[in-house]
Amino acid sequence: MKFQIEKTKFLAALNMVIGAVPNKATIQVLNNFSLRLEGNSLEVCATDLDLGIRVRLDVQGEIDGAVVVNAHKLLDLVKSLIDPKIETIAVEVVDYLVTIRWSERGKASITGFDVSDFPVLPEVDDGSSFQLGKSELEFLASKTLFAISTDPTRLSLHGAFIEIKDGKLIMVATDGHRLGKSFIDVEDAALDKGVIIPPKAMQYALKSVSPEAAIEVRISDTYILFASEGVQIISKLIEGPYPKYDAVIPTNFQRTIQVNRTDLYNKITTVLSMANIRTRMIRLQIDGNQMELSANDPNVGGDSTEAISIMHEGEGVFCIGFNGQYLLEVLKLCQSDDVVLKMNGPVAASIIEPVGSDMNSMFLLMPLRLVE
């Protein structure tokens, strides 16, 4: 195998594909890149058997071939070529010895292996397919991935659930304490059933394409593919079933409050400094058009109180407790001037939504039980 390639283009591809190389591979071949050359097209692949990344590049090809080479050694070498005068590098493989040349006297060699030992990335040809803009996928992911669970006993919650319903592509994630839901309008898109996507697959899809790019999404029974600009991210889907999220989202509420998002964020930040370090609980007391925020930590004898003006619909004085850190996280994701909090009892799920007709997201938080 023999080819020449622009150094910056090669480095960008290796930096992208290294994301699929496992940190601690139990199978030795997974520590490597697979390089395949056909004509003037070079394919660089890596996989951890759950996630695979494939990048195709235009090169100046001379001799077709394929080799497996240590991923970190090759990446570290190309990274080290920091001299701006080095614009092109030549790669030649003879008897599995990979030789990289960047000048008349400058070269390095890495021992490679037979590519037949490298796992073949699956082709995702059947199933459903649709297109998204990068900004659309970014929006969906940004409002949901924060709520993905890491509980080892709830594997179906380790990803984001997507489905297409009533002309909308919906993405949901929850860990049982908080939930994020976002949606976009889609035309002529269909998905036979909802699927659970590992967050890593979406994160690499977003990382690998330019801001204005369109991303093709293909979903089979067991895999999802994100493809754009010569890059393919192929990931196993997470086995379900996913919980019936609609069943836990209330639709009727005993009270709602509307409040300036920035003011609320700032006041929670202050009060949270005195909250218990384990529970992070803050107490909200709503009385008319005033809301008092308070927190205390009896273990160290600290407490803090703040107040904020609100627009309130509901009867009487009402108290509820939340994890203040979770509240801040949700408020940061709301991009509107005001937010609405919709509540029922002090232990019932509460909804937080940005105010605005085009704000296609909502968040659910479970309260913490107050101890009076």
What pLDDT sits at residue 310?
97
Once rounded to an integer, what is the mean pLDDT over residues 37-49?
A: 97
Sorting pLDDT into bands at 50, 70 and 90, what band is 140?
A: very high
Q: How many helices (H) and strands (E) does the chain have?
A: 6, 26
The pLDDT tens digits of the residues spanning 290-310 come to: 999 999 998 888 899 999 999
- Domains belonging to the chain, first-starting first, are 2-117 (3.10.150.10), 128-247 (3.10.150.10), 250-365 (3.10.150.10)
Helix axes 261-272, 324-333, angle to 10 degrees: 150
pTM of the complete model beyond 0.85: yes
- Residue 372's pLDDT band, with cuts at 50, 70 and 90, is low
Helix axes 7-17, 71-80, angle to 10 degrees: 140
Helix axes 199-207, 134-142, angle to 10 degrees: 140
Q: In 3-state terms, what secondary structure has residue 297?
A: strand
Q: Give the span between the Cα atoms of 207 and 244, in whole angstroms.
A: 30
Best CA proximity match to 310, nearest among 301, 302, 318? 318
Sheet holding 290-297, edge to edge: 302-309, 290-297, 281-287, 318-323
Query: What percent of the chain shows pLDDT beyond 90?
Result: 88
Q: What is the CA radius of gyration of the chain?
A: 26
Q: Which residue has the tokens 């979406």?
A: 202
Contact 125, 221 (CB under 8 A): no
CA 114, 56, 196: angle at the middle one, nearest 5?
95
In whole angstroms, what is the distance from residue 134 CA to residue 91 CA?
33
Tell me what pLDDT residue 358 has. Answer: 66
Q: Is the pLDDT of residue 357 over 70?
A: no
Distance CA 160, CA 140 (A): 10
Q: pLDDT digits over 224-245, tens only?
A: 999 998 999 999 999 989 999 9
270 to 31, 144, 154, 274, 347: CA distances (angstroms)? 47, 26, 34, 8, 24
Residues in the chain: 372
Q: Are 143 and 181 in contact (CB under 8 A)?
A: yes
Task: Please report which confidence band the pLDDT of residue 111 belongs to, taking 50, 70 and 90 as the band edges.
Answer: very high
Q: What is the mean pLDDT of residues 203-211?
A: 89
| DSSP assigned state of 152 | T
- What is the phi/psi pair of residue 311, to 5°? -105, 125
Q: What pLDDT was estimated at residue 299?
A: 85
Query: Mean pLDDT score of the chain, rounded to an integer?
Result: 94
State the average pLDDT over residues 88-94: 97
**Residues near 28 by Cβ (< 8 Å), separated by ≥ 6?**
none
pLDDT band at residue 55, thresholds of 50, 70 and 90?
A: very high
Across the range 95-124, mean pLDDT stands at 95
Query: Looking at the predicted structure, is the pLDDT value of residue 214 above 80?
Result: yes
